Chains A and B, each alone.
Chain A
């Protein structure tokens, strides 16, 4: 037996577990349950609830199984009369001042205290005094209700705040019998991850205000689904009763989310019942070419397909285009690209406005690989705002596993606090830094990095850190890079890989739900699914048939431009909102207005939907089934829970495909998994993906082969005016948009528009803190308040995207280069 295994006996069963395992976990591994309250495997031992007392041979007194490491030849007994007496005694103490309001308590039915009392507790209490009275149902935050009477002071929540969140927002106050959970100065506990305390609270002390009294837990129909907000794809359970959304709970999957979800996942699902939802298919009657009234969804889909086909027949396939969404499922995106490529014969397919290409020169690491790395290098990514659960995992490995963290970014993020090395380059200098780093690693010596804002010795120490590591995980956000610098970054990756002692992988941390999946599904003008370039005609024809187009199509931004010039006649926009989210703002709107046919297939009445000639309702997450691929390349099944009158999106798309199919009847998919099976057949890397293989924890798909990316460092653009500053649009987790609308539970997180600038720039522009300004670029103005900080280097401003209304993307001219803005005082 290996040295790190310990064999012991628990209740006459022999158990062999790794050294350092706690007795309670060892017992669990052989199906012996030792009751606990304060112990949680992610938080580690505390030993304060005393529920897990067990008898250990050769120990004079009862021991707590949650704090005791297993020892060789230990003999543990969990059911002796002595243990049972202790369990009864402890439960009696625990229940001494716990109110008996189980019938009204939201935890009732899934309450560890209830369960343990039934299983181990005394039948009756001997307490004949009044139970202590305390705060009943006060707000701990706008979304969490705190009931201090029910609290059994197990400290799980406060330790979660200390160990996992690491900001000590929730603490114990007072002493002894009077101790209680609270925050400093009774301020609301509204961190990004506060909701997890609801899941870990073993009693009904911390409950979900949104779910308060809405249903009993046993009345819920729970679907094991995935979060559809960021690219982490955390696992969660969607509780539904009588086809109404009730609540969301975390569903631990250590490989994805480590057991936690962020508050946006927990409370960001009001959109399921939003007023803005598209409830029926619509056409615009006064549009000359397209007159048909109040169609059914199927009807509208058929008409859409016919109308686009007609335009293709008249103007050629390059006159139609498709803008997809990184929020769609693999199935939906796969079917759409198939429809446009095979049905309409065009490669005008895209889902993004930034530069990126499928494939990595190094391994595509799964999120859990961070734990075994010894250096995590975060590039241009702000996990806290973009991929919150990744932020928790980075914090965990840095503070508890001794992993080193290096940050390379153009703005300050909360990660800097944990970083061993944090380098901040000037906005727009990303390519220069990557090239310099590549040169430094290759031994070509130090390039001139004066203009990048990073000092030579800083870069040197980063190179040293890299060289000293055995396993490096790169986390990069290509959507926060400018121009073609993602290609330069990929060269850097290839260079790191060349260092023989390093094992290296990357996690492309684009914040959107299924950004990786959208790339894999070929929602790109120049790549077929699985990263097959359009130039590879042979491979394409083998899979997709003779008619598959092999000319590169137009990118999303090009489509908008061609629409403006009238060359593009028809555009189908699927779950995207170019008017708000694309660079250009007003121009995009004008361009879309010029289209002969604009079809919008979306969940909401977005700004783009208002321009549409045909509107198709989309069900989206929470309703439709499908698979998504997370940032770690893990494909998981996202189950729906609610039902609507509309057919699922994949059915609508396949109906369109069948309409234009030349054979007359196309493939009839039975469930979303029928599409998944076709993906497994046709998309390289997805061969192993099937209903069965992704059932429990999902499965990582095989990353597509790297295409040698070429990208040169473009010359820095010069300011149009001397006082112009470079703009960096940052993300904010709780941005006020169609997903989190004004009625959202998370509305208290909405922030005002703030422009962060360096003190030296503020001085030059004679601005001070809290000055009201407008950020101007071309015709577009965004009003904001000045905050002088070290968020970015001098010469730039950081403007977080806090709402749709704010319209920050209107400022950006395109993604080819950095945007220059002027700050004017109002």
Chain B
């Protein structure tokens, strides 16, 4: 199986510059510096690389949207990996920090950026130290700083630890947080590419996205474009969690079926239970019942069945689970993480949690489920940022696809009103 990011991930001391260089690290720089910045952008465009953070926006296109002739520009690496179920960036940062630095250098060169920030979530305190160590090494070796490898190109990279908010994974909230403000999303437009950090054009990319860039520069756009399906190119890191025998991060080629991921890579369901449902892209995407397990794991196919690839966190749920509990757990997460800026999200996430909690603890009625559906409808696509939609997704999909689970709880407790 083709691996771009994980082919050497378990190599000992890969996080050191020495080992990384032995593995062919920082080779892309010379190749890149030999070309014009715009050529790199074109190359990334041609490679078909799409943002790995969740939305799947074509990366090259994003880079080309930067406001023309406005400087300075900034690069923000979004390492605020906080989507429940996702832990892929963590592995990259932990084991291969130089890959990210190389990716950031290439991106900065392509976009004529001289300052880069790595926004790490607050809990990544130790990763921040590893990252800083790597940055220091890169400075010492001249990969960062002034006049990198004699190309005349300058780049400084800084790390920034968040204060522990899920919403700061949203790009504009990340920028607010980076500027020292409240982690609340900003109004769009203006988009970050026009007015981002400190009101200057800003590129914001996920760790995984940036880590793919050296591969593209080293091996050419065609090689990357050859991997994967027609529209979803390359490989994807999948964080498999839940009721599988071998949870963990796996790199799969786009288009691999979910069945292969669950049963071949992750070793199947625990205790060989029956698969009930899976959430393909982190908690923010609708869940999918077991009968659609043969869906290829790529952007389009998942969209076709009404869900999303998201950040690539495959959460597996077996038949012992009542999805009401799953929804309740996720609803409580979103209630806690809503930034409170917009009304539907602030009030709706709490109300949803209250209702789900009521159903779960046995004061539920069938009318409550209908009310939940309507609340979801009032929230979805009416909130300021995608967090509101994300909060709705697991709840509404669980009601639509597993209404029986709700009815079962309600009936059981109506028949036996012990509580």
Chain A residues near B (Cβ < 8 Å): 45-51, 53, 60-62, 67, 85-86, 89-90, 92-94, 96-97, 126-127, 129, 152-153, 155, 172, 174-179
Contact = CB atoms under 8 A, between A and B. Distances in A.
B38 to A, nearest CB: 30
Closest 10 CB pairs between A and B?
Answer: A89-B378, A179-B340, A176-B338, A93-B347, A61-B381, A176-B340, A96-B347, A48-B341, A48-B342, A177-B350
Contact of A89 (B183, B336, B382): B382
B418 interface: no
Contacts of A176: 335-340, 346, 349-350
B255 interface: no
A127 B381 contact: no
Contacts of B183: 175
Contact of A94 (B338, B347, B384): B347
Given A93-B343, A179-B340, A45 B187 contact: yes
Nearest to B342: A48
B35 interface: no
Contacts of A46: 187
Interface string B203-232: 000000000000000000000000000000
24 contacts: A46-B187, A47-B187, A47-B342, A48-B341, A50-B343, A51-B343, A61-B382, A86-B382, A89-B377, A89-B378, A89-B382, A92-B378, A93-B347, A93-B378, A96-B351, A129-B354, A155-B341, A175-B165, A175-B337, A175-B338, A176-B336, A177-B338, A177-B350, A179-B340
Nearest to B334: A176
Nearest to A64: B384
A89 B344 contact: yes
B182 interface: yes
Nearest to A46: B187
A61 B182 CA distance: 27
Nearest to B182: A172
Contacts of B346: 93, 153, 176-177, 179
A755 to B, nearest CB: 37
Contacts of B348: 93
A50 B383 contact: yes
Interface of B: 165, 182-183, 187, 335-344, 346-351, 354, 371, 374, 377-379, 381-384
B371 to A, nearest CB: 6
Contacts of A90: 343-344, 378, 382
Given A175-B165, A176-B339, A177-B340, A50 B349 contact: no
Contacts of A177: 335, 338, 340, 346-347, 349-350
Given A53-B382, A126-B371, A177-B338, 5 more contacts: A97-B347, A153-B346, A175-B337, A176-B340, A177-B346
Nearest to B367: A126
A49 B343 contact: yes
A90 B380 CA distance: 11
A48 B343 contact: yes
Contacts of B379: 89
Contacts of A175: 165, 183, 337-340
Contacts of A172: 182, 340
B335 A94 contact: no
Give the secondary structure class of A's interface.
loop
Nearest to B164: A175
A153 B350 CA distance: 15
A354 B347 CA distance: 60
B289 to A, nearest CB: 26
B361 to A, nearest CB: 13
Contacts of B381: 60-62
A344 to B, nearest CB: 65
A153 B344 contact: no
Contacts of A48: 341-343, 384
A49 B383 CA distance: 9
B360 to A, nearest CB: 14
Contacts of B337: 175-176
Nearest to B353: A177
Contacts of A179: 339-340, 346
Nearest to A89: B378
A152 B343 contact: yes
A31 B255 CA distance: 54
Contacts of A53: 382
B108 to A, nearest CB: 30
B382 to A, nearest CB: 6
Contacts of A127: 351
Nearest to A53: B382
Interface centre among B347, B354, B377, B379 (most CB of A within 10 A): B347
A287 B347 CA distance: 75
A345 to B, nearest CB: 67
B30 to A, nearest CB: 44
Contacts of B350: 176-177
Contacts of B165: 175
Given A127-B351, A172-B182, A49 B378 contact: no
A596 B128 CA distance: 86
B387 to A, nearest CB: 10
A51 B378 CA distance: 12
A90 B347 CA distance: 9
Considering residues B183, B377, B382, B384, which has the most beta carbons from chain A within 10 angstroms of its beta carbon? B382
A67 B354 contact: no
A86 B378 contact: yes
Contacts of B344: 50, 89-90, 93
B382 A153 contact: no
Nearest to A154: B343
A39 to B, nearest CB: 11
Nearest to A93: B347
A89 B348 CA distance: 10
Nearest to B351: A96
A177 to B, nearest CB: 5
Contact of B384 (A47, A92, A153, A178): A47
A435 to B, nearest CB: 42
A35 to B, nearest CB: 12
Contacts of B351: 93, 96, 127, 129
A245 B111 CA distance: 64
Contacts of B341: 48, 153, 155
Contacts of B349: 176-177
Contacts of A67: 187
A462 B199 CA distance: 29
Contacts of B347: 93-94, 96-97, 177
A336 B271 CA distance: 102
Contacts of B340: 153, 172, 174-179
Nearest to B381: A61
A21 to B, nearest CB: 15
A553 B193 CA distance: 70
B240 to A, nearest CB: 30
Contacts of B343: 48-51, 90, 93-94, 152-153
Nearest to B355: A129
B382 A62 contact: yes
Contacts of A129: 351, 354
A60 B380 CA distance: 12
Nearest to A69: B189
A557 B63 CA distance: 73
A127 B341 CA distance: 21
Contacts of B354: 129
A173 B84 CA distance: 25
A824 B337 CA distance: 61
A328 B344 CA distance: 53
A175 B354 CA distance: 18
Contacts of A50: 342-344, 382-384
Nearest to A86: B382
B281 to A, nearest CB: 20
In this complex, which of A67, A90, A94 has the most chain B Cβ atoms within 10 angstroms of its Cβ? A90
Nearest to B338: A176
A49 B347 CA distance: 11
A176 B334 CA distance: 9
Nearest to B350: A177
